[in-house]
Amino acid sequence: MVEPLVECVPNFSEGKDESIINSITDAMVSIDGVTLLDVDMGADFNRTVVTIVGPPTSVLEAAVAGTRIALNLIDMSKHSGEHARMGAVDVVPFIPISNITMDDCVDLSIRYAERVSSSFDLPIYMYAKAARKPDRVNLPDIRRGEYEGFEDKISDENWTPDYGPAIFNPQWGVTATGARNILVAYNVNLNTNDKSAANRIAGKIRTSGVLVKDENGDKILDEHGKALRLAGKFASLQAAGWMYNEDTAQVSMNLLDYETTGLHTVTEAIRQEADEMGLKTTAGELVGLLPLNAMLDAGRYYHPDGNADHHELVESAISGLQLDALEPFDPKQRIIEWAAGEEL
């Protein structure tokens, strides 16, 4: 039986000092079974996003080990950056990849919260699938006010931490942890430099849709004064029009649940909308890594034999999604399970 695989994507409030991040990641990968998939440092944000994967218990131990080092080396009282933040260890999500359930990942987040709150007196908020209150499901709601506002916020009865003391530590701030679906960041390029074309397509396919406007171009409000929206085609999809470069417009997307709305589904919808505009798609672009099943789902759509083996299905997905149009696409580096050495 294939071992359960879980991903953890802790965000640390340090994006300038590489030695600090190296110390954190060294501690994490020192745990047996843990694979470091990505380290994304951002100097302007002064923030680093680390992606690790491995068996559940190993990933939990790695998250705790990285937290320990981060709390020793990061001082939030001296921190500034463009990204919203509230703590040295800002957020620690656990994400099911294979042979593990969302409930299992909720349990991992609880065990993490119990460990770090008791070991370091660190205030912890549970969010996403592990949230204990409706206003803690969405991370931006917890972050509101940011680090500077938490000295007062934490004393509000409604914002008592789920774990740890309701006491603000200026050096560490506070931390959120929870469980969520994996987010697949995926973009599709068009053969036009007209950003508005990409915006129109994005508005038609994304969950939030577009604002309803009157003949003068003004927003139409409902009886409560809220702007009316025409819902988009797909659930669990964020999308916007961007420019890939000065010659190429791009539909930029976050697939919040690829099992609900898959890569091939959005790609084919974009192709249909583009065709009606006299345009074509020229490339697909994957940002980061994705689960094997997301590629297999697309491969079954594009391959004439849906029962082909995994490698054939992945190659069909790469071709059908045009993932190799911009640069070579190595599935052994871009598929989480294969990058972690669990090639099937």
What's 164's domain CATH number? 3.30.990.10
**Domain check: are 123 and 172 in the same one?**
yes
**Domain check: are 209 and 166 in the same one?**
no
Number of domain units in the chain: 2
Domain-located, residue 344: no
pLDDT number for residue 302:
96
**Domain check: are 173 and 192 in the same one?**
no
**Domain check: are 46 and 156 in the same one?**
yes
**Domain check: are 149 and 188 in the same one?**
no
pLDDT number for residue 67:
98
**Domain check: are 274 and 203 in the same one?**
yes
Spans of the chain, pLDDT less than 50: none
pLDDT number for residue 215:
73
**Domain check: are 167 and 18 in the same one?**
yes
Single pTM value for the model = 0.83
Q: DSSP E strands: which ranges in 260-332?
A: 281-287
Domain-located, residue 330: yes
Domain-located, residue 51: yes
**Domain check: are 83 and 138 in the same one?**
yes
Domain-located, residue 212: yes
**Domain check: are 108 and 217 in the same one?**
no
**Domain check: are 144 and 72 in the same one?**
yes
**Domain check: are 190 and 174 in the same one?**
no
- Of the CA atoms within 13 Å of residue 36, those in its CB half-sphere come to 17
The residues that are catalytic are: 83
pLDDT number for residue 344:
52
Domain-located, residue 155: yes
pLDDT number for residue 214:
67
pLDDT number for residue 343:
64
Domain-terminating residue out of 157, 179, 201: 179
Domain-terminating residue out of 179, 194, 216: 179
The pair phi, psi for residue 227, each rounded to 5°, is: -65, 130
Domain-terminating residue out of 126, 155, 179: 179
Domain assignment of residue 9, given as a range: 5-179
pLDDT number for residue 91:
96
As a whole number of angstroms, the distance between CA 303 and CA 274 comes to 23
Domain-located, residue 81: yes
Domain-located, residue 335: yes
As a whole number of angstroms, the distance between CA 315 and CA 186 comes to 17
**Domain check: are 151 and 96 in the same one?**
yes
Q: 172-184 burial by CB neighbour count: b if 16+ within 10 A, else e?
A: bbbbbbbbbbbbb
Angstrom distances, CA of residue 61 to CA of 56, 116, 146, 265, 276 = 9, 11, 27, 37, 52
Q: What is the CATH number of the domain that holds 242?
A: 3.30.70.670
Most distant CA pair in the chain, distance: 63
